[in-house]
Amino acid sequence: MGTRYLDANEVKQDHIDKLGDKLGPLFHELLNEVTWLYMKWEEYVELFGKKPSRIDLLNQSAPLFFRMIQDSLWENILLHIARITDPPKSTGKENLTIQILISHVKEDIKEKVSKQIDIAMKKSEFCRDWRNRHIAHCDLNLALGKKAEPLKQASRAMVKDALESIASVVNTISEYYCDSSLSFGLSASPGGAVDLLYIINDGIKADNDRKERIKSRNYLPEDLIHPDL
């Protein structure tokens, strides 16, 4: 028989069985958050951080739209990092954050996890600055160009470091309780950015061929019709 993979409910129950009724659900949901965060980051990198030729391709197809996608996805990722590293409570309400884990892990790994969380907090500080003064709120002095502290520097390398520091926290817990290491962002997702790039490339080629047929007056009937999409 082939390998049987657990469904989402079975994975959650497995975490509860191994980590306990309190830590298990927290770890499971945080793991989902980190996994989804990495997936968004990998898609961003595939589109905007791999090759200049891919940027050229996007600019040939829909430059305004993809600029909006680039900015929106970038800010969404910074916001997600800020959210997952927030304090355990804000305005009296509890948050799902890596900081909440320290109250539930066993003493054997508490010091290690605490140090890793501290590192993650430092490496993600720039994300909270962007969230507080640019994404969730629009700092007036910053917007008007008046005397204001500039937004903290943000780069793809800094995001990568922040993600790795967050992943190290959940990975330490997984290794201790589940005897397994976690891997994130190892390959492009099916149905994601890479598939889109191939479709755009084929579409641009087909459009160029259509224009050449029209220019040479050897066009097909469908070359003159825009389908109702």
What's the total number of domains in the chain? 1
Residue 226 domain-assigned (yes or no): no
Domain assignment of residue 64, given as a range: 8-221
Do residues 166 and 184 make contact, with C-beta atoms less than 8 angstroms apart? no
Residue 1 domain-assigned (yes or no): no
Along the 229 residues of the chain, how does pLDDT read in single tens digits?
A: 556 677 889 999 999 999 999 999 999 999 999 999 999 999 999 999 999 999 999 999 999 999 999 999 999 999 999 999 999 998 889 999 999 999 999 999 999 999 999 999 999 999 999 999 999 999 999 999 888 889 999 999 999 999 999 999 999 999 999 999 998 876 777 889 999 999 999 999 999 999 999 999 988 988 888 888 8
Residue 23 domain-assigned (yes or no): yes
CB burial class (10 A; 0-12, 13-18, 19+) of residue 160? Answer: middle
Residue 229 domain-assigned (yes or no): no
Helices (H), 6-133: 8-19, 23-48, 52-61, 63-84, 107-123, 125-130
Backbone angles phi, psi at 90, to 5 degrees: -145, 135
Residue 2 domain-assigned (yes or no): no
Helices (H), 85-225: 107-123, 125-130, 140-144, 156-178, 193-215
User: What is the spatial distance between Cα 126 and Cα 154, in angstroms, rounded to a whole number?
Assistant: 7
